[in-house]
Copies of this chain bind each other. A is one copy, B any other.
Amino acid sequence: MSPDLAERVLTGDRRATARLITLIENNGPQARRMLAALFPHTGRAHIVGITGAPGTGKSTLVNELAKAYRHGDPAPRVGIIAVDPTSPFSGGALLGDRIRMRDLSGDPGVFIRSMATRGSLGGLARATSDAVKVLDAAGYEIVLVETVGAGQSEVDIAKAAHTTVVVEAPGLGDDVQAIKAGILEIADVFAVNKADRDGVEHTAMALEMMLDLNHASRPTVHHSVLMQVESPAEPADETPVWRPPICKTIATRGEGVPALLEAIKAHRAYLEETQTMALRERTRVEDELHGILGHLLMRRLMARVPPDELAHLVDRVVARELDPYSAAEILLQVQPSLSPGREDS
């Protein structure tokens, strides 16, 4: 382990950047020290999450977005993190992602990395968040975080972004409506991809209608995981409301991608002008802190519970002699100072 790895990341060294992300994936203690050293140099990147259901073609769209950024003047450096939370056990990143992004890999201003979980989803969310910090510190002004899938895990990872693009496509069946209901609250920009397919107008109109309903029915809320409270997310009543634009794209031909890029930039400008960026940063930090605390608390508890005692308790629950909540209370008693609380009765 080179002592100046963090310094090399700060100079934009690609190999050092890749190596530090590998250390993060392997969850080494050195990685944490490096991250602490890099942290003061973060906060400059625009973090853009791209999420959506399978079959929407979002991987190709991410590819084209990166190219569009690189054609700008000045051209920002672009980091891409492709997250695969659907592979919880195999521990390998997607070969497909790497092949797909081959036409970007010759560009020294683009850094591509696939990440998959080696254990828990929480671990993947933490590792992704840390990898974003590394790219930020390494001078990537744009960091695109792509998540495969459409469930809560993707929502959680997308929440770590400043701007979240939700990708839809025509004709994905009846579940799409259901997904929209949840995804509406994280979408800053919609891309209706595969816009050359039948049903694109229907999909775009359905989104418009849901946006109409959403704006009429409830204000945006700031959901604090740590404080367990909800408070209005808008800094003041007079703050203009952001209505997610709907961009039609055909990623395979690059069509509509420049307009999508403009929409993403407009959202960033909105965040900065209305001071909403500061609120998003708070939410991001709270979510991250929540994940780290949960991880550390569990590790500390497990280090104190004798494995035999744990196995015995699991046996008793399996035998229906003890319910899981009572078993949890017993495990918490192992560390006496954790148990007397009455707050969760």
Contact = CB atoms under 8 A, between A and B. Distances in A.
Interface of A: 29, 32, 35-36, 39-40, 42-43, 53-57, 59, 84-90, 94, 96, 117, 119-121, 124, 148-156, 172-179, 181-183, 185, 221, 223, 225-228, 278, 281-282, 285-286, 288-290, 292-294, 296-304, 307, 310, 313-314, 317-318, 320-321, 323-329, 331-332, 335, 337-338, 341, 343-345
Contacts of A292: 324-325, 328
Contact of A178 (B148, B307, B318, B320): B148
A292 B298 CA distance: 11
A214 to B, nearest CB: 10
A300 B43 CA distance: 32
A113 to B, nearest CB: 16
Contacts of A303: 341, 343-344
Given A86-B150, A89-B182, A150-B150, A298 B289 contact: no
Contacts of A301: 293, 297
Contacts of A39: 320, 323-324
Contacts of A150: 53-54, 86, 149-151
26 contacts: A36-B325, A53-B150, A54-B54, A54-B179, A55-B175, A86-B178, A86-B182, A87-B178, A87-B181, A94-B181, A96-B177, A121-B152, A124-B152, A148-B175, A149-B152, A149-B179, A226-B302, A226-B310, A227-B302, A282-B318, A285-B317, A289-B324, A293-B328, A293-B332, A294-B298, A297-B338
